[in-house]
């Protein structure tokens, strides 16, 4: 943008108005732009009390983990997973939530491979925390179509293994946003 000295600017009020309008337009356009946000067609939720939650053998940082299994109705490009853990904090019924750490895994049928004695194994697809235990509220998984371990398809079963690093009497709410229906399962069938 050219700089016009003030003494000349007074002589050219039309130029100043155009420059001011251009600066305001640029300001508003840069401030109003937003990143693209994926809108999912379906919101699938299941509530699981801790006494009904399926406990796993694996731990996360030496804490007990629970699992929920699910199957997608069809192949999708991506899904978003969120888990909340709510508990009653005191005698008057105050409800509080606690951060929940989780790992999403795809169950791979091992019978397809030769010389194996196991029926299936788990392939990690993602987690909502990093090496320093910084947790995100949710996780978006993007399908890798060419990879049998990372593709989000309608034929596979998935497991979410989670822990709140605490032993309160939680009710977990697992939310999976997808462009298809989701079937939650108690166990692998």
Q: Which residue has the higher pLDDT, 142 or 118?
A: 142
Compute CA distances 116 → 49, 86, 96, whole Å. Answer: 36, 41, 46
Quick one: 49 and 91 in the same domain? yes
Could you please report the per-residue DSSP string of 86-146? Answer: EEE-STT--EEEE--EEEEEEEEEGGGSSS---SEEEEEEEESB-TT-PBPSEEEEE--TT
> Could you tell me the residue range of the domain that residue 1 belongs to?
1-34
Quick one: 10 and 87 in the same domain? no
Quick one: 47 and 128 in the same domain? yes
Quick one: 22 and 48 in the same domain? no
Q: Which residue has the higher pLDDT, 14 or 118?
A: 118
Structural domains in the chain (count): 2
Q: Tens digits of per-residue pLDDT, 31-76?
A: 444 456 678 888 999 999 999 999 999 999 999 999 999 999 999 9
Quick one: 64 and 152 in the same domain? yes
| pLDDT at residue 125 in the model | 96
Q: Tens digits of per-residue pLDDT, 157-170?
A: 999 999 999 989 99
CATH number at residue 90: 2.60.120.1090
Quick one: 144 and 86 in the same domain? yes
Quick one: 83 and 152 in the same domain? yes
Mean pLDDT calculated for residue range 79-88: 95
Quick one: 75 and 102 in the same domain? yes
Quick one: 48 and 14 in the same domain? no
Quick one: 66 and 141 in the same domain? yes
- The answer to whether 141 and 152 are in contact (CB under 8 A) is yes
Quick one: 147 and 173 in the same domain? yes
Nearest to 121 by CA among 129, 131, 113: 113
Q: How far is CA 85 from the centre of its chain?
A: 15
- The answer to whether 113 and 172 are in contact (CB under 8 A) is no
Reported confidence tier of residue 110, pLDDT bands at 50, 70, 90: confident
């Amino acid at each position: 943008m050219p700089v016009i000295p003030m003494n000349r600017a007074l002589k050219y009020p039309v130029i100043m108005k155009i420059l001011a309008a251009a600066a305001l337009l640029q300001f508003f356009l840069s401030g109003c732009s937003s990143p693209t946000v994926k809108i999912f067609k379906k919101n699938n939720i299941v509530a699981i009390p801790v006494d009904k939650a399926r406990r796993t053998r694996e731990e996360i940082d030496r804490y007990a983990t629970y699992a929920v299994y699910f199957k997608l109705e069809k192949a999708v490009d991506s899904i978003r997973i969120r888990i909340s853990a709510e508990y009653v904090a005191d005698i008057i019924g105050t409800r509080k939530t606690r951060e929940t750490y989780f790992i999403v895994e795809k169950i791979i049928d091992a019978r397809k491979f030769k010389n194996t004695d196991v029926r299936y194994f788990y392939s990690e697809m993602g987690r909502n925390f990093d090496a320093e235990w910084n947790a995100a509220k949710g996780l978006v998984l993007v399908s890798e179509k060419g990879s049998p371990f990372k593709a989000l398809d309608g034929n596979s079963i998935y497991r979410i293994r989670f822990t709140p690093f605490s032993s309160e009497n939680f009710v977990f709410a697992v939310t999976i946003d997808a462009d298809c229906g989701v079937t939650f399962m108690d166990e692998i069938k």
